[in-house]
Amino acid sequence: MNPSLYLETTIPSYLAARTSSNPVIAIKQSATHEFFESLRHKYDLFVSDYVYEECEKGDEAAAKRRLEWLNGIETLKKTPKIEPLAEIYMQLLSIPKDSAIDARHLAICCIYGIDFLLSWNFKHLGTRSMLIAQKHNDKHGLSTPEMLTPFDLIEKNNEEGSYE
């Protein structure tokens, strides 16, 4: 059984985007493609209804490209437990209402027991926030995913000597 890996919306967004002229973004795009092409088979990949909802927004052609990257990835469905847990995370982590989706991504990972949350968005779910969430989750018998970027995942696999 492979470790479980949840792809937050920034991952299909970086995969589907045209190569950026901004060198920092272009490097992130490249790392995202490297993960997807070389390492995805080492993980059980998941997205959620929330990822689909976000990917469907915006420019129609770009939305179509984002959604194509999700083909074949298992979708975690919303459950009645997710929204109340997301509300708790919003309060604990001071996540503003207009960024509630970040709390929902975390909640769905915790409810489903996902091992890793892959994202480029650490605005509300950085190291400090994840430690606070883990403390809450430990008290309530919930798992907490390790939050990683594609860079982190590539490095993790290189260190384990399992990059094939």
**Residue 70's pLDDT is what?**
94
Nearest partner of 70 among 4, 6, 142, 2, judged by Cα: 6
Average pLDDT over residues 46-51: 96
Which residue from 108, 162, 163 is spatially nearest to 133, judged by alpha carbons?
108
> pLDDT grade, residue 163 (50/70/90)?
very low
pTM score, whole prediction: 0.91
Q: Report whether pLDDT(162) > 80.
A: no
Q: What is the pLDDT of residue 123?
A: 87
Q: Please report the pLDDT score of residue 161 as a whole number.
A: 66
For the chain, give every domain's residue range.
4-159
Mean pLDDT along residues 28-55: 95
Provide the pairing of β-strand 44-48 with 74-76: parallel
The predicted pLDDT at position 132 comes to 95
Q: What per-residue confidence (pLDDT) applies to 83?
A: 96
For residue range 106-158, list pLDDT tens digits in order.
999 999 999 999 999 888 888 889 999 999 999 999 999 999 999 999 998 88
Cβ atoms 115, 4 nearer than 8 A: yes
Distance CA 14, CA 33 (A): 8
DSSP classification of residue 100: H
Q: What is the pLDDT of residues 63-94, one digit of tens each?
A: 999 999 999 999 999 999 999 999 999 999 99
Find out if CATH 3.40.50.2000 is the number for domain 4-159.
no
Report how far Cα 57 is from the mean position of its chain's Cα atoms. Answer: 17
